[in-house]
Chains A and B, each alone.
Chain A
Amino acid sequence: QKEVEQDPGPLSVPEGAIVSLNCTYSNSAFQYFMWYRQYSRKGPELLMYTYSSGNKEDGRFTAQVDKSSKYISLFIRDSQPSDSATYLCAKQRSNYQLIWGAGTKLIIKP
């Protein structure tokens, strides 16, 4: 079993829809969880990170961690075609190394 599991998609939704992206993890000894966005042929860029459990909001994006169920979620409100990208979840080890999910390809249809 991988430490971080993520459905690779693709996930296709119409413009304006609420998007829900999810990951599960298997080891509870982590405090920081991240979401990176990766456009085609580009490097990943950090969208948001959360510490421990709970929610964090930044504009149209909300990151949520549920440590009891070992679930990481990213919600995108009012989705735009420019949100079309691959979204990678990751968790940070104590040595700063990141354990990555496979990434979910998101397609927002105009």
Chain B
Amino acid sequence: EAEVAQSPRYKITEKSQAVAFWCDPISGHATLYWYRQILGQGPELLVQFQDESVVDDSQLPKDRFSAERLKGVDSTLKIQPAELGDSAMYLCASSFGQGVGLAGYNEQFFGPGTRLTVL
């Protein structure tokens, strides 16, 4: 069964260090999402890609966060420098998502997440 892969599963870092998370979506899924989930809350969308293009990064703290999906397949999310408040679960999801404005249901498939702890 196809799955969304993420690595690492767990990351402990000190504040001011750089961290990077990797995501490999389900083959054929054009849309890729990065979410941040703080304990006890629902996922918060950070960035959405359609193929290699950013569709929405309005909630991405661009002074320290960056995301790329160079070949429209796998993706990397980076934080530089990490802050204490960045401790959270970082989730990657993918979907077929053929574009904005089309009617219909679009299931998002989630990876296992990367749990980040900033000390």
Contact = CB atoms under 8 A, between A and B. Distances in A.
Contacts of A102: 40-42
Chain B: interface size category: 20 to 34
B41 A103 contact: yes
Given A92-B105, A95-B100, A43 B112 contact: yes
B105 A95 contact: no
Interface in A71-88: 88
B73 interface: no
A93 to B, nearest CB: 10
Contacts of B4: 43
B113 A43 contact: yes
Interface of A: 4, 6, 8, 31-32, 41-46, 49, 51, 88, 90, 92, 94-98, 100-103
Interface of B: 4, 31, 40-45, 48, 55-56, 91, 93, 95, 97, 100-101, 103, 105-113, 115
28 contacts: A4-B42, A6-B42, A41-B112, A41-B113, A41-B115, A42-B113, A43-B110, A43-B111, A43-B113, A44-B43, A44-B110, A45-B110, A46-B108, A49-B107, A51-B105, A90-B42, A92-B105, A95-B56, A96-B31, A96-B95, A96-B100, A97-B48, A98-B43, A98-B108, A102-B40, A102-B41, A102-B42, A103-B42
